[in-house]
Amino acid sequence: MIRTIARYGARHVPGSMVAALKAIARGEGLRGPYVQQFEKRFAEYQSMRHAISASYGRMAFYYILKALELASGSEIIFPALTFWVVPEMARVSGFRPVFADIDPSTFNLDPAKFEAAITSKTSAVVPTHLYGQPCDMDPIMRIARAHKLAVIEDCAHALGATYKGQKVGTFGDASFFSFQMLKPLNTYGGGMAVTNDRTVAARIRALAEAQEWPAAKGVFKKILLGNLQRKLVGPYGFTFTMFLAFYIASFFGDYDLSRYLWESIRPLSPLPESYRKRYTNAQALIGLRMLENIDKFNALNRAHAAKLTAALRDIDGIQPPASPPETEPVYYQYCIRAAEPDILKHRAIRAGVDVEIMHVDICNVLDVFQEFKTECPVAEATQHTLQLPVYASLTERDLNRLINVIRQAVRRPKPLVRATDPRSMS
């Protein structure tokens, strides 16, 4: 059987889908005991007092923004490199997103650039622990406290990552997590808001619980279709679906069809109806099982990243991600800088390995943020970064094959130049 390597691999605990579908069949798809149990265990996992579930990570962020009662029209600082939806939710909520540049070695908010972006109108900062790499929280917290800014940590990529031994999502005033299919904890959608502040938690809960329940049929479909998608990006499913399309398209120039798989970048006002829903019992059941396994999954990603770094660090033209001391990333993505990323991607897909160019958005140059445009050259240079598969379900053989494909792709006729300064690799 032909085996290819997809760029993503969704996490899954065997038996959880059937258990969730059975709960729906019993009439416990929406309401039931698991939401409260999941929230309680999640808060315990984070060593925080309150965790409140939501229909999406973005909605958890939206409720946090409202619950913190920040001055309307105030400025909120985001790293320029993040998922466009997050600053858009701030814009929709009546705030002005301000983009600050990132650190070239970690891809995360640069504390000095954050400080330089503060004005008398700034009310909050949203450090994103991008790709599962913790932000440099000591200076970020020091600067934020000195300027009396709220800190809302975006932990969508980073459940389980630590900074100086402390879990991300426990430093600021509140944090949020995503349970979208590809995220560290997959419940086929959903999110969580976390805080130690009782008043803020009560406000978030009131907002989340004021939403409508989704249709039980819709939850059934979401879990079933989600599982189908998970199988389609699995080694055999991918071989006969997207890989074929990517492979054929690679003979016709612009072959990266993946942009068609993503949510289109657009203004989100008014908020889509589908966002204003409650998180469900069936998803929370899956969440409980995922949470029991999260450390095991993260350990696999870390081991895979360590193997990739050891094998790639000496290859000319490749720069593996940095791992600053005292941080323990979870490697949601494994982001490399490559001197010739397009050539490398092209050669990899021809050899059966799908790698992704970029993953998130350079928000400061997006049309949707036209009125908030700024220059963030380090973030802009990341348009040429590559994400290598690193997910937990890769086998030893897959990893060896991936390493060989990258080695050969770099060595083949057109030599790739060595670059040592990440800024020179744009």
Ligand X SMILES: Cc1ncc(COP(=O)(O)O)c(C=O)c1O
Residues found near ligand X in the complex (CB under 6 A): 56-58, 82-83, 85-86, 128, 154, 156-157, 178, 180, 191
Query: Which is closer to ligand X, CB of 172 or CB of 191?
Result: 191
64: nearest Cα among 125, 118, 131: 125
CB of 291 to ligand X, least distance (A): 16
159: nearest Cα among 136, 182, 139: 182
Vertex 183: Cα angle to 24 and 208 (nearest 5): 55
Phi and psi at 384, nearest 5°, equal -105, 15
CB of 332 to ligand X, least distance (A): 8
Q: Tokens standing for 108?
A: 């995360």
Query: Which is closer to ligand X, CB of 156 or CB of 416?
Result: 156
Query: Which is closer to ligand X, CB of 133 or CB of 250?
Result: 133
The β-bridge partners of 385 are 337
Query: Which is closer to ligand X, CB of 238 or CB of 279?
Result: 279
By DSSP bridging, strand 162-163 and strand 166-167 are antiparallel
Output the CA torsion 42→47→50→55 (10° steps).
-30
CB of 48 to ligand X, least distance (A): 18
CB of 180 to ligand X, least distance (A): 4
Q: Do 124 and 150 contact (CB within 8 A), yes or no? A: yes
Residue number of the CB closest to ligand X reads 57
Q: How many CB atoms lie within 10 A of CB 49?
A: 12
CB of 157 to ligand X, least distance (A): 6
Q: Tokens standing for 252?
A: 């016709």
List all residues 6 or more positions away from 193 whose beta carbon is below 8 Å from its beta carbon: 51, 52, 54, 60, 61, 63, 64, 174, 175, 176, 204, 208
DSSP 398: H
DSSP 67: H
CB of 153 to ligand X, least distance (A): 10
Query: Which is closer to ligand X, CB of 154 or CB of 356?
Result: 154
Taking the C-alpha atoms of residue 391 and residue 396, their distance in angstroms, rounded to an integer, is: 12
CB of 89 to ligand X, least distance (A): 8
Query: Which is closer to ligand X, CB of 63 or CB of 347?
Result: 63
Query: Which is closer to ligand X, CB of 74 or CB of 82?
Result: 82
